[in-house]
């Protein structure tokens, strides 16, 4: 026995079928849908709606013609509007939570892929070329292929994490929009018009056709509807009347104060797609900067722990930090010093910290920094003898990403920012959506300080030989 059952709680579902019995192939062309989550056949978007009797009866008829014994059960008793919205809010929250967990899984896979690439790269001396003809050539090429595959996997998983997080953040937005007083008022007008149409069909009506002189030449008489059609209209009328009463109460409440919304969107830290700052770029200086750093960028990019800041991005970061003549700037984990160069070009008084002795020596030789400290930034404390004792107007940084180091570095760097100063950082994409304790706490801190997070284009670090996804983070001191 197959039962096609409709209730407002569960919608329209088909019970008593099993895989391979042929029922699905019959029902699919009529408009039925298979729901993998509950492993059942039904009609989409039928929950808390009047039964689609035509589709239900058509499905039952086709099944009977195929030899199935079919029963139809329709309960069109509607639930009150408040209950519907509360149930909807619960389901939306479950969906948001599931999507957030999925985003975290993708982010974890991305991090694992990047870690695999780093582990292989750690065994390759920085700048070491492939020795053609040497016994190590075959292994070296395989290592680079593994690194490339791992980085591509990391980039793909990072994209999936971003997209899933976007979907999670979007859950509930339609419900919140629907609860706005202006939208509710429009919904009331629409419902009232639909009620008038239903009442006309229940009572019966005449339609008069007139010629171009306005004289009637034909009258079309419509008798009151009967049978299942009448039952369907009465069920819809009762549902609309309950919805109208609820919506009118919400509009009345909005006149006295804020309307209570049953399902609201949980907003993440603000993510801006466009930047309000338009940095002033000296084209000649920019060309010279690109030429000057090209060679060292190529060498540094061979080591996967270094994602060299592109010159154009460095100029943008400096603009966000408000660097101008006389502003004190610190670049922690300076690497090749592209950020420091851009800051010095605008008149900033720059200090650098760089862990790698060779790179620190290159920064000293370049001559644009007041002081260069060769040390692990996480071990450096504010007030160090080589750094400014009273802190900095701007801290601009592109810290290491691996294993959440970027959060640790940025939190430490905030200790070097003067009151009223600004920290601008490039960070890994996972910071925006990860549910790990450190990431959640970090986003809360950014929001509490009225900072913001912006996603950078996927090709930002392409010139450095990596597709790593990144964010731009601005935090007031």
CA atoms of 74 and 9, how far apart (whole Å): 12
CA atoms of 88 and 263, how far apart (whole Å): 7
pLDDT digits (tens, 9 = 90+) for 30-87: 999 999 988 999 999 999 999 999 999 999 999 999 999 999 999 999 998 888 888 8
Q: Please check the confidence at residue 319 and state whether its pLDDT lies above 80.
A: yes
DSSP designation for 205:
E
DSSP designation for 45:
T
pLDDT digits (tens, 9 = 90+) for 414-461: 999 999 999 999 998 888 888 888 888 999 999 999 999 998 887 777
So what's the pLDDT on residue 266?
38
So what's the pLDDT on residue 194?
93
Number of H helices, E strands in the chain: 13, 14
**How far from the centroid of its chain's Cα atoms is residue 256's Cα?**
35
Residue 465 pLDDT class (50, 70, 90 cuts): low
CA atoms of 100 and 120, how far apart (whole Å): 31
φ, ψ at 388 (rounded to 5°): -75, 130
pLDDT digits (tens, 9 = 90+) for 263-279: 333 344 444 333 333 33
Residue 306 pLDDT class (50, 70, 90 cuts): low
Q: Which numeric CATH code is attached to 283-476?
A: 3.40.50.150
Q: How far apart are the first and last CA of the chain?
A: 70
CA atoms of 155 and 133, how far apart (whole Å): 33
Residue 393 and residue 452 in contact, taking contact as beta carbons nearer than 8 Å: no
Q: Please check the confidence at residue 284 and state whether its pLDDT lies above 80.
A: no
**Residues 6 or more apart in contact with residue 343 via CB below 8 angstroms:** 318, 321, 323, 327, 329, 331, 350, 394, 396
CA atoms of 11 and 31, how far apart (whole Å): 14
Percent with pLDDT over 70 in the chain: 87
Strands 452-455 vs 470-476: parallel, antiparallel or unpaired: antiparallel
Residue 212 pLDDT class (50, 70, 90 cuts): confident
pLDDT digits (tens, 9 = 90+) for 367-386: 999 999 999 999 999 989 99
Would you kindly state where each structural domain of the chain is located, as residue ranges?
2-74, 81-175, 180-256, 283-476
Q: Please give the structure tokens belonging to residue 253.
A: 């409440």
Whole-angstrom CA distances from 345 to 153, 325, 426 are 38, 9, 20
So what's the pLDDT on residue 467?
62
Q: Please check the confidence at residue 353 and state whether its pLDDT lies above 90.
A: yes
Buried b (16+ CB within 10 A) or exposed e, 272-283: eeeeeeeeeeee
The beta strand positions in 283-411, using DSSP E, are 328-331, 349-354, 371-374, 392-397
């Amino acid at each position: 026995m197959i039962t096609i059952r409709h209730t407002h709680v569960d919608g329209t579902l088909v019970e008593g079928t099993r895989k391979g019995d042929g029922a699905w192939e019959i029902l699919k062309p009529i408009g039925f849908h298979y729901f993998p989550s509950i492993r059942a056949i039904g009609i989409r978007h039928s929950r808390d709606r009047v039964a689609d009797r035509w589709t239900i009866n058509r499905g039952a008829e086709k099944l009977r013609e195929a030899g199935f014994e079919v029963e139809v059960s329709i309960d069109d008793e509607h639930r009150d509007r408040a209950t519907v919205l509360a149930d909807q809010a619960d389901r939306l929250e479950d969906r948001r939570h599931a999507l957030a967990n999925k985003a975290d899984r993708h982010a974890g896979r991305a991090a694992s892929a990047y870690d695999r690439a780093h582990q292989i790269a750690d065994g390759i001396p920085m700048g070491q070329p492939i020795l053609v003809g040497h016994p190590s050539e075959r292994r070296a090429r395989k290592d680079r292929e593994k690194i490339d595959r791992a980085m591509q996997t990391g980039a793909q998983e990072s994209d999936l994490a971003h997209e899933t997080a976007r979907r999670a953040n979007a859950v509930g937005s339609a419900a919140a929009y629907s609860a706005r007083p202006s939208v509710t008022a429009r919904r009331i007008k629409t419902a009232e018009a639909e009620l008038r149409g239903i009442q006309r069909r229940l009572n019966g009506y005449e339609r008069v056709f007139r010629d171009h002189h306005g004289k009637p030449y034909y009258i079309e008489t419509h008798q009151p509807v009967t049978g299942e059609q009448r039952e369907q209209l009465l069920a819809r009328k009762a549902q609309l009347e309950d919805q109208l009463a609820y919506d009118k109460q919400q509009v009345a409440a909005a006149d006295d104060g804020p309307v209570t919304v049953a399902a609201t969107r949980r907003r993440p830290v603000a993510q801006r797609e466009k930047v309000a700052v338009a940095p002033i770029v000296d084209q000649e200086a920019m060309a010279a900067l690109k030429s000057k750093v090209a060679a060292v960028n190529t060498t540094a990019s061979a080591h996967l722990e270094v994602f060299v800041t592109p010159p154009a991005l460095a100029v943008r970061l400096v603009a966000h930090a408000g660097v101008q003549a006389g502003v004190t700037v610190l670049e922690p984990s300076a690497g090749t010093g592209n950020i420091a160069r851009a800051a010095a070009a605008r008149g900033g008084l720059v200090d650098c910290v760089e862990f790698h002795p060779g790179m620190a020596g290159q920064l000293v030789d370049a001559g644009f920094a007041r002081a260069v400290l060769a040390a692990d930034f996480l071990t450096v404390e504010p007030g160090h003898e080589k750094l400014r004792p009273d802190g900095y107007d701007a801290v601009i940084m592109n810290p290491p990403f691996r294993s959440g180091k970027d959060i640790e570095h940025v939190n430490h760097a905030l200790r070097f920012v003067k009151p009223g100063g600004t920290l601008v950082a490039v960070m890994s994409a996972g910071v925006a959506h990860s549910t790990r304790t450190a990431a959640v706490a970090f986003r809360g801190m950014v929001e509490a300080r009225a900072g913001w997070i912006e996603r950078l284009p996927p090709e930002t670090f392409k010139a450095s030989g990596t597709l790593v996804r990144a964010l731009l983070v601005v935090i007031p001191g």
